[in-house]
Structure 1
């Protein structure tokens, strides 16, 4: 007669196996959490280095005024962590004026940044005959008469942290770089190139992760 395994022993063995798997998973999670707490990843440091304006024209229109913008930007990011790498995913950059987006978003290439490394992007942002609200048109007309306007260069996307072979989930990244731009005339921080004006800015950006 064949021997049969006791159901009670079989059930106990399954519970022990499950407990062992759970224990290993908790141990791995604890190691990751402790490593993360010790290293304390800090957010990257973004700088708006310069902006070359090729077009910034407001024209009257019905029912809304139309704004045409073409700007080339140089934006850099420095990984401030000494032991953690940073993956940049799905970054989009655009220009805004008084909270109103005035250009299409431009996609930045995915980038991996090793510790203390610097990444530099030089994208174009542009908008062709973008309708703007009446209050935006009025404010922009006033700023152009004064000769100076504040434009916000914004970067939105996702980042991931890398510690050794461990890569975290994605975190939201929001960057805001305010820049004062003068229209016409000459200032000490501008270089006129044909019909374009290049602004050497070197401005720190506000970064939220």
Structure 2
């Protein structure tokens, strides 16, 4: 009988030790997570900067009769730099596309997930195409005037999700919005449309990050 009682006491003791070990391990993990989160808040990450490095238009045509539509083939080069010295940036799949007067004129190109280390630059060069992309009559008139004037202001937009990374801790998702204006100078249109045109970035890209 005494042996059974002793065995039960040992079993209870081991069970308590396992519970305390589990609680201690869980508490340590929570503490480390909170510590990293506090460090993240103290470091206060700065949003990455973006630049539109190059815009090349290979084909650009606008229909003259309803329904109005655009056919365009172009390639853009976007660069990003992480200004943080201790925080990494994880870009989830990002979508890049071109707009004219807030109307999308190319299909969205999906950029793959990318990790950007401390003070590290990243460069993307996605092709952007649009076939029979519909536009409003008002946009068609404005585009026709701009086109024959030789300069069309387009906007290259990038949208997606980002996460911050400090050590092994990764933040929740934040929404990234990037807006890069560019002047497309067509010059001589006597042949009906440009063959290859280089665009000129107007200003730095606007970057917004929202929760």
Same fold (TM over 0.5): yes
1:205 aligns with 2:210: no
2:86 corresponds to 1:83: yes
Shift of 1:199: 3.0
Distance 1:39 1:101, change over 3 A: same
**Cα displacement (A) at 1:207:** 0.6
The aligned residue for residue 152 of structure 1 is 155
Conserved in 2, the CA contact under 8 Å of 1:49 and 1:202?
Answer: no
The alignment's TM-score, normalised by the length of structure 1, stands at: 0.81
Q: Which residue of 2 aligns with 1:190?
A: none
**Structure 1 segment 45-124 matched on structure 2, within 5 A:** 45-62=49-66, 64-124=67-127
Please, which of 127, 137, 148 is the counterpart of residue 130 of structure 2? 127
What are the Cα deviations for residues 110-167 of structure 1, in whole angstroms up to 9, with x where unaligned? Answer: 2111111111111110101111111111111121232222101000111111111112
Q: Secondary structure at the match of 1:33?
A: helix
Return the alpha-carbon distance in structure 1 between the equivalents of residues 184 and 200 of structure 2. Answer: 11
Determine the structure 2 residue equivalent to 1:33.
37
Could you list the runs of 5+ residues in structure 1 that have no partner in the other structure? 6-12, 186-193
Matched, 1:176 2:179: yes
Change in 2 beyond 3 A, CA 1:110/1:17: closer
Task: Write the distance in 1 (CA, Å) between the matches of 2:85 and 2:41.
Answer: 14
Q: Partners in 2 of 1:113 and 1:140 — Cα distance?
A: 37
Aligned residue pairs total: 198
Check whether the contact 1:55–1:69 (CA below 8 A) recurs between aligned residues.
Answer: yes
Give the alignment of 1:7-26 within 5 angstroms. 23-24=27-28, 26=30
Alpha carbons 1:47, 1:202 under 8 Å: kept: no
8 Å Cα contact 2:182-2:200 kept in structure 1:
no
Pick the structure with more strand per residue: 1
**In 2: Cα distance, 1:203 partner to 1:56 partner:** 23
1:139 correspondence with 2:169: no
Higher percent of residues as helix: 2
Q: How many Å separate the matches in 1 of 2:21 and 2:169?
A: 26
